[in-house]
């Protein structure tokens, strides 16, 4: 079936880097359907899980007939979180998973944390609710590498209030104007 070789994503720039695609179709503003040459190619991209471009997550999902083509169906995001100066004895998978679960759903650690290559901070990926709190401290200090922007005026994600088109939209006012003809054209 057509949908079996499709995934849906919110940013287009990564599709070129995959090199496994047959085509890309814009489904909605900011949403794209990517068609792969084979199911294996699609699965290879999905297996990696989470992609980041310019420090922001590129969200992908396997497409099926029931999937809504709507960004509003996204209610959580994978976000890289750092725990600065965390004692190395807590860098094991169980400890990091417990610490990460205080923020959301623990997904994975990066290679440098797993191999204890840089000891300045432990870095983990957490699936965090969009509307969830982003505490700066949970047993240990927390540093988010990226937080989703949310407009406080229209409650849309991806921008701040200062950039909100709805807030700065000029309202048109309709008025009844009597006799707009110049004097020399009046009857």
Tens of pLDDT, residues 91-103: 999 999 999 999 9
Dist CA 137 CA 62 (whole Å) = 35
Q: How many domains does the chain have?
A: 2
Model pLDDT, residue 173: 74
Dist CA 63 CA 36 (whole Å) = 12
The verdict on 51 and 81 lying in the same domain is no
The verdict on 81 and 51 lying in the same domain is no
When the pLDDT of each residue in the chain is averaged and rounded to a whole number, the result is 78
141 inside domain: yes
147 inside domain: yes
Query: Higher confidence at residue 97 or residue 32?
Result: 97
The verdict on 81 and 158 lying in the same domain is yes
70 inside domain: no
The verdict on 54 and 87 lying in the same domain is no
User: pLDDT tens, 50-60?
Assistant: 677 666 667 77
Whole-prediction pTM value? 0.63
Using the predicted structure, report yes or no on whether residue 7 has a pLDDT greater than 60.
no
The verdict on 123 and 44 lying in the same domain is no
Strand 21-28's sheet: what is its strand order?
21-28, 31-36, 6-9, 60-62
The verdict on 54 and 86 lying in the same domain is no
Question: Rounded to the nearest 5°, which phi and psi values hold at 73?
Answer: -80, -5
20 inside domain: yes
Q: Alpha carbon of 87 to those of 101, 119, 126: distances in Å?
A: 18, 9, 19
The verdict on 82 and 149 lying in the same domain is yes
Enclosing domain of residue 41: 2-61
CATH code of 56's domain? 3.30.70.330
Position 61 confidence tier, pLDDT thresholds 50, 70, 90: confident
Using the predicted structure, report yes or no on whether residue 179 has a pLDDT greater than 90.
no
CB 38 within 8 A of CB 11: no
Handedness of CA 106, 110, 115, 117 (dihedral sign): negative
Q: What percent of the chain has pLDDT over 90?
A: 22
């Amino acid at each position: 079936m057509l949908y079996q070789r499709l995934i849906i994503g919110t940013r287009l720039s990564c599709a070129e880097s995959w090199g496994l695609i047959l085509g890309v179709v814009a489904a909605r503003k900011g949403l794209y359907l990517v068609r792969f040459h084979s199911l294996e190619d699609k699965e290879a991209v999905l297996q990696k899980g989470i992609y980041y471009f310019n420090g922001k997550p590129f969200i992908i999902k396997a497409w099926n007939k029931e999937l809504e083509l709507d960004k509003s169906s996204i209610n959580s995001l994978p976000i890289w979180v750092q725990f600065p100066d965390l004692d190395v004895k807590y860098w094991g998978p169980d400890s990091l998973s417990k610490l990460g679960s205080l923020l959301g759903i623990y997904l994975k650690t990066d290679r440098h944390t797993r191999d204890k290559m840089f000891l300045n901070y432990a870095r983990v990926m957490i699936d965090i609710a969009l509307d969830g709190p982003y505490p700066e401290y949970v047993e240990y200090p927390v540093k988010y590498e990226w937080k989703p922007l949310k407009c406080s005026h229209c409650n849309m994600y991806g921008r701040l209030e200062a950039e909100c088109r709805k807030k700065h939209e000029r309202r048109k006012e309709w008025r009844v104007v009597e006799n707009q003809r110049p004097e020399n054209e009046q009857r």
